[in-house]
Amino acid sequence: MPVNIEDKKKQIKEEIEKLQYEMKIELPQRIAEARAKGDLKENAEYHAARERQSFVQARIAYLSKQLSLMDSIDISSIEQGKVEFGSLVTVRNLDTDEVIEFTIVTPNEVDASAGKISLSSPIGRALHKKTVGDEVTVQIPAGTKRFRIEKLVTIHGEELSL
């Protein structure tokens, strides 16, 4: 499935809301309860709550930045019919005949084991702006790979195949 920006934004907003609730309601309570137990120097609960508070603040900042980036994406400026951000690309390894599926995501969402690659990865750079039927050669740490694009579903929802 190609990247759906609106779904992604919804997921991010939901996570931000949960974290903000934790930050404003749950963590202050945990900190107050731990503080009430006395000596803060050796109070593991207090230190754990403060550590969690720092993590939650950083995560909210990170997600807010991601949301801002998502808001700045203009789908109409993304070229149609070619591999671009948000595309789902099915390729055939021309040496092994293996069929592999890649989703082109932002660099922060990369998960090679799940087939999520960015345009800045070696395979992403090779596939960028290519279309169905095109063949690419990619130099990766494991050696040289040759792929042919067999199917492409763009962020616009258009589906192209051999």
Per-residue pLDDT in tens (0 to 9) along the chain, 162 residues: 667 888 889 999 999 999 999 999 999 999 999 888 877 788 889 999 999 999 999 999 999 998 988 888 888 888 899 999 999 999 999 999 999 999 999 888 899 999 999 999 999 999 999 999 999 999 988 899 999 999 999 998 889 998
65, 108 contact by CB (below 8 A) = no
The interaxial angle of helices 5-21 and 44-72, nearest 10 deg, is: 150
Predicted TM-score (pTM) above 0.85: no
In angstroms, what CA-CA distances link 36 with 28, 55, 147, 152? 12, 23, 63, 59
Domains of the chain: 5-73 (1.10.287.180), 77-161 (3.10.50.30)
DSSP state string for 48-97: HHHHHHHHHHHHHHHHHHHHHHHHH--GGGSPTTS--TT-EEEEEETTT-
